[in-house]
Amino acid sequence: MDKQRLIIFDTTLRDGEQSPGAAMTKEEKLRVAKSLEKLKVDVIEAGFATSSPGDFSAVKSIAEAIKDCRVCSLARTMPSDIERAAEALVDAVAPRIHTFIATSPIHMDYKLQMTPEQVFDQAIGAIKIARNLVDDVEFSLEDGSRSEFEFMCRIVEAAINAGAGTINIPDTVGYGTPGEYGEMIGRVINNVPNSDKAVFSVHCHNDLGLAVANSLSAVLHGARQVECTINGLGERAGNASLEEIVMAIRTRPDIYPVEVGIDSTQIVPTSRLVSTVTGFPVQPNKAVVGANAFAHESGIHQDGVLKYRETYEIMRAEDVGWNTNRIVLGKLSGRAAFSARLEDLGISFDNKADLNRAFTRFKELADKKREIHDEDLQALVSDIQIGESAEDLALVAMDVSSKTGRAPHAELTLRSHGNDHSVSAEGDGPVDAVFRAIEKLADSGTELKLYSVNAITTGTDSQGEVTVRLEKGGRIVNGQGADTDILVASAKAYIHALNLLGNPDRVHPQLGGV
């Protein structure tokens, strides 16, 4: 079979970040971008430059740092959005502007309140402006799967003539079904006279759990770019998951007439990084990257796998980066080994003081935990990069007692605006007591939406990684904390979430209606 290249367009940093609570700082986005570069994705959609000064600066930093992938910014079809995207991408080796407008009757009538002709003119005008600024322009017909076929073909033909090299037809609301959606992509390709001048792309949401199936069906009908995210992160139920798309194509070369340039051994490390940075745990039974994805519980399966692995395994765990959980550092490792390992993981610090803090934290951790894994380093660096400012709330010390028959009691020293305060509280459990004590000082008026603890590595000396999701006035944030003591990790995560609520750069990046 003649294999064509399928372009893997990763939108974890843009659509993925639109998951409520998944907003990332610039440093975190940069770390994820470097990991995506190691994974060898073709395009990194780094953000939506015009949505906030924070997102502009993140896109700009990623454009400067990434050398081996195209870097893309989303832009509405307004000239100011497109110019802002170009400005953020100015230092990119291979910049792409991705401009979009909705083309379905329901979106044009109710959301945009524009006629199809106005949408047509605005789209084509935007593509021309973008093409004057960069060579590589992608155009998306938002809500494509619910758009009228004739209108879609007309706008696609004109978009290609105006200079769009990639045409993306999203299933924005996750409404499509595999046969119908794939066939629709094939029909557009066959009907548009200049379709051979562009790459056709798909972008599927997972509202019915069909995002991966819809994307793969489109590949069978001629799509040559798939937009996807690590761990399937994304708006509402998420986007098509990168790891599932890539491994379906690698595992079934007899079905899919395409190949991908991904280094699949980087899949699990990237998945873990995204989970740590966003605070969205990966469900254990998640395909490819879930903790149980390669675990065989039943005796019959174990027996089969021991005799001949392929009886029950269609992929090799090591091919997607499992079992690379090497012990990398320990108590005796020095600064050079520590820095070299961070460099390998694509982690860098803006200043020496942060590197020194990280090294001190590493030594403290190595005293408590004999084996330091890459995951420990990622969590430790996340902690440092949380970068509390002097005004932020910080944990100085804590003492928690929990005895059978007595209410757990927590005493904490917290620093706020440079002053130390002692607070104490009782709770239904020790974590509850810790949170109540923090609230005595913070009095935040927030609602706790989620509390979860994950072991970062295996073994009882593993660090616990805690995620705390808080909501206030419609804003949702995820705070993270890691420590070998899960009560300390819980306090850190709660405080981190409170600090995020006070940080305007961490607002949900998507703007309102176009």
Q: Given the complex with ligand KIV, which of 61 and 168 has the nearer CB atom?
A: 168
10 binds ligand KIV (CB under 6 A): no
| Contact string (CB under 6 A) for ligand KIV, positions 95-124, x = contact | -----x------------------------
Position of tokens 């280094």? 263
CA dihedral 447, 449, 454, 460 (to 10 degrees): 50
Residue nearest to Zn ion (CB): 15
Q: Given the complex with Zn ion, which of 15 and 42 has the nearer CB atom?
A: 15
Q: Which does 142 bind (CB under 5 to 8 A by kind): Zn ion, ligand KIV, none?
A: ligand KIV
Question: Is the Cβ–Cβ distance between 81 and 75 less than 8 Å?
Answer: yes
For the bound state, the minimum distance from the C-beta of residue 320 to Zn ion, rounded and expressed in Å, comes to 25
Q: Given the complex with Zn ion, which of 15 and 432 has the nearer CB atom?
A: 15
The set of residues, in sequence order, having a beta carbon less than 8 Å from that of 390 and lying 6+ positions away, is 417, 418
Q: Which does 490 bind (CB under 5 to 8 A by kind): Zn ion, ligand KIV, none?
A: none
- Amino acid identity of residue 348, one-letter, is S
Between CA 180 and CA 217 the distance in angstroms is 9
Between CA 168 and CA 226 the distance in angstroms is 9
Among 10, 15, 42, 136, binds Zn ion (CB under 5 A): 15
Between CA 29 and CA 377 the distance in angstroms is 17
Between CA 469 and CA 487 the distance in angstroms is 16
Q: Which does 29 bind (CB under 5 to 8 A by kind): Zn ion, ligand KIV, none?
A: none
Size of the site for ligand KIV (CB under 6 A): 9
Q: Given the complex with Zn ion, which of 96 and 373 has the nearer CB atom?
A: 96
Position of tokens 């700082």? 25
Pairing of strands 95-102, 372-373: unpaired
Q: Given the complex with Zn ion, which of 47 and 430 has the nearer CB atom?
A: 47
Distance of CA 95 to the CA centre of its chain: 20
203 binds ligand KIV (CB under 6 A): yes
Question: Is the Cβ–Cβ distance between 494 and 435 less than 8 Å?
Answer: yes
| Contact string (CB under 6 A) for ligand KIV, positions 53-92, x = contact | ----------------------------------------
Helical ranges in 279-429 per DSSP H: 299-307, 335-344, 352-368, 374-385
483 binds ligand KIV (CB under 6 A): no
Q: Given the complex with ligand KIV, which of 15 and 136 has the nearer CB atom?
A: 15
Between CA 268 and CA 322 the distance in angstroms is 6
Contact set for ligand KIV, span 223-262 (CB under 6 A) = none
Give contact residues for Zn ion (rule: CB under 5 A).
15
Residue ranges binding ligand KIV (CB under 6 A): 15, 100, 140, 142, 168, 170, 172, 203, 205
